[in-house]
Amino acid sequence: MSRVAILDDYQQVALKLADWSSISGRVAVEVFTDTLAEEDQIVQRLQPYEIICAMRERTKFPRSVLERLPNLRFLTTTGMVNRAIDLDCAKERQIVVSGTGGGGNATVEHIWALVMAVSRCIVTEHNNVRDGNPQWQTCIPTGLSGKTLGLIGVGRLGSATAKIAKMFAMKVIGWSPNLTSERAEQAGVEFCPSKEELVKQSDFISIHMVLSESTRHLFGATDLALMKPTAFFINTSRGPLVDEKALLEVLQNKGIAGAGLDVFDQEPLPQDHPLRKLSNVVLSPHNAYVNDTSYEAWWSQTVDNIEKYLEGKPVRVLYKL
């Protein structure tokens, strides 16, 4: 019987949101609800398993981990892209890697949840009302109409975010290292010739880039210093795209109005991290991609992936055979 490890199931729903009966009796499933960061701990936990189910990029599978998992033959991940898996190494070791599709618009919805939360002081006023603050209103929300949204990255998510911004009568500008005026026009976004110009103009900045060596700390201290003191920064992409130390400093000094952050340099965010103590941030635990629609699709397809692997006919394979 094949041993299956389900990783990082924070909400303990993997076995509830899909019908696993099709592979019942053929696999022994174990669920882990925590994330391990140390490679030695990951290897020690996962060495016995033939099949591993990864939730996005929570647990990393670089070559240094994959080479120490002798029993691993099949790795299935939620989503059709997982940059935490070394696909070249997996292919060399004849480890089949499959993904899952579907998921809807969870991230776009979350982007706007953060925009509205920070701009309208939702968390602050919620806490005031709940905690019995005698001062009935304590801040003035920032309106969206007529404001400028600056998008760093105008791909699928950036384009979808722009469409919603226009429903709020916002001006939308965009920049990325590879963005052209033609592509910006296709996305319905005004092309900005430089990051500096985008930062200076924007009342809200939302970043939508893929993390790589070339984009690490793409948004740094110099950029933060150019932001309007009334501006807000939103990040639902990857923490290291931004210089977190510089962002923390500007937030502590009230150099900008606030930030809505779903991603961080280290996840889960350490309990003693100073971001947890700031009043001008709205924080979420890297769950922009999470909702019932995406989870139901991902876990159902995970079961299908395992079933097809057991039959010797893997589907949704993430590398070219």
d(C-alpha 132, C-alpha 306), whole Å: 52
d(C-alpha 231, C-alpha 255), whole Å: 9
Contact 314, 305 (CB under 8 A): yes
Pairing of strands 27-31, 2-6: parallel
The candidate with the shortest Cα–Cα distance to 305, out of 99, 102, 71, is 99
Handedness of CA 123, 126, 132, 133 (dihedral sign): positive
286 is catalytic: yes
Contact 22, 301 (CB under 8 A): no
Q: Choose, from 58, 110, 208, 286, the residue flagged as catalytic.
A: 286
Handedness of CA 82, 85, 88, 92 (dihedral sign): negative
Q: Choose, from 249, 267, 296, 307, the residue flagged as catalytic.
A: 267
d(C-alpha 256, C-alpha 76), whole Å: 41
Helix ranges, the chain (H): 39-46, 63-66, 87-92, 106-119, 122-131, 156-167, 181-186, 195-201, 221-226, 244-252, 292-310
The candidate with the shortest Cα–Cα distance to 139, out of 119, 121, 123, is 121
The candidate with the shortest Cα–Cα distance to 30, out of 58, 56, 2, 55, is 2
The candidate with the shortest Cα–Cα distance to 20, out of 318, 313, 305, 253, is 305
Contact 147, 205 (CB under 8 A): no
d(C-alpha 24, C-alpha 15), whole Å: 12
Q: Choose, from 57, 208, 238, 244, the residue flagged as catalytic.
A: 238
Pairing of strands 281-283, 204-207: unpaired
Q: Which residues are catalytic?
A: 238, 267, 286
